Structure 1
């Protein structure tokens, strides 16, 4: 018997949906109706629009991401870590007939308070496709995850992507800059600086001073700042990864290459997997089980 199901990645600003027959993707769709961009529509109405002609009442829909947050359709409670990978698919939150939301994960200790939504689904796929002890998941908020084949043990969040955006668009560091250009040399220079001095706060104003004084081309501030922040992140999280632990980067190609370069600079080899590939594998494993 074949199984038909729908998998959805519903974030703050975008929504992506895939229609599957067993392991085969029949069709995919995208929408800008993220949870913060519903424009007065209900989540039910948006789901009906994006899955039009895809489903009848018996077709299961499994969703991950901010749709399960406190600003989403319905709160899908966080699972505290350590958590078994199997628990993620066993504790879904129902929001409608045959429509479920995958839970997020949380850590709440004196030395670490953290949450994730969406990345747990990527982890499900990544642990099958690229078994590792540590997963680094770059993005707006980069997740560093300790896991084994059975459990997620701990994770941290580094706001590297968001800090980069804020500094370039809303601070003096990026004020008045011309259009930015790609520059591997500027990225590498920033990376080396960040790795050498991961106490990055005193270095941030130097980025502005460097281009004001003519030491850094104004068109390359974006690249230098990216290198500085990623280098500082990888250097400051060095102790999170024990010697000999396997590391997998889970991201798109652009961020993967930057983080690969950073890890190689500190003498660590890494495996890589596409974030989209990991997410789809993870959500398919849950949706396929639900469908059966």
Structure 2
């Protein structure tokens, strides 16, 4: 199996690392996933980590995407400006060590607001490269920082980062709602009630305080408070989109959070198309295939 490996693709995130032994035609023949994300490593740790990957997978060339190329990672791979294509990402990849290239992220430098992404661009453009999504599309990638990403003719043209997941974790652990949000977060009546409130809310901070008031005044069951609060925050996020009825939303990722966003988008009048697994490796492979 290792003998078929042409190169190693790595999705190196903040907390997790996913490495893939790749064939020349883009097939995954071996994988490794662990908790050695950038927060677990110092810049001096990366040469040893790279050597270990080569020992495991038996290939010399390594192509890396994700937060490893951020200011908190190994070395910064400077952002390229939107509109961004796979070809532009490949051309701007940073040679950080012999036969190790880091794919840069994408930035919005001009216009009404700044924004950056690092890692999501490979997944989006990888999905397009395989035909899992059309060249012109709207994507949603739920996570700690949810991303809404727009593409036109195979280029990332605009995106918005929403700190929904991080804010929920903060209010759950700190402040006046701490201790009230220990219940399960799952789809159900409380979550959908929260979605509706979030979509209508003009003031997220006020809508969140209503969680406390609702519990104290017996209008919200304590066991439902976490699901309701999650619904409020996700509903507010999804409610910012005024174009959900115009085109499908291509959802990247899986798991419980993606399922909640599927409900939220559908309840808001949108239609979700789930992108199959493999978009990240497809994007890295497309960039590897552009090598000189």
In structure 1, what is the equivalent of residue 223 of structure 2? 219
Cα gap change, 1:222 to 1:47, in 2 (>3 Å): farther
Look up the SS of the partner of 2:109 in the other structure.
strand
Deviations 1:17-60 (A, max 9, x none): 0101233222111221211112785111122224423235xx31
8 Å CA contact 2:238–2:265 kept in 1: the answer is: yes
Task: Write out aligned runs for 1:82-97 (5 A).
Answer: 82-97=83-98
How far 1:90 sits from its partner (Å)? 2.0
In structure 2, what is the equivalent of residue 286 of structure 1? 287
How far 1:183 sits from its partner (Å)? 5.3
In structure 2, what is the equivalent of residue 199 of structure 1? 203
How far 1:170 sits from its partner (Å)? 1.7
Task: Write out aligned runs for 1:51-70 (5 A).
Answer: 51-56=54-59, 59-70=60-71
Distance 2:248 2:181 in 1: 40
Structure 1 consecutive aligned stretches of length 4 or more whose deviation exceeds 6 Å: none
1:43 is aligned to 2:40: no
Task: Write out aligned runs for 1:132-281 (5 A).
Answer: 132-175=136-179, 178-180=182-184, 182=186, 184-238=188-242, 241=243, 244-274=246-276, 276-281=277-282
Cα gap change, 1:26 to 1:84, in 2 (>3 Å): closer
Cα gap change, 1:213 to 1:48, in 2 (>3 Å): farther
Deviations 1:111-137 (A, max 9, x none): 111000010111111223111421111
Deviations 1:76-97 (A, max 9, x none): 0101112233211222100111
How far 1:188 sits from its partner (Å)? 0.9
8 Å CA contact 2:9–2:284 kept in 1: the answer is: yes
How far 1:176 sits from its partner (Å)? 5.6
How far 1:162 sits from its partner (Å)? 0.6
The count of aligned residue pairs is 285
Distance 1:99 1:178 in 2: 44
Distance 1:230 1:157 in 2: 13
Distance 2:27 2:92 in 1: 25
Distance 1:3 1:28 in 2: 11
How far 1:218 sits from its partner (Å)? 2.0
Query: What RMSD in Å do the two structures reach over aligned CA positions?
Result: 2.2
Q: Give the TM-score normalised by structure 1.
A: 0.89
In structure 2, what is the equivalent of residue 76 of structure 1? 77
What 5-or-longer segments of structure 1 have no aligned partner?
none
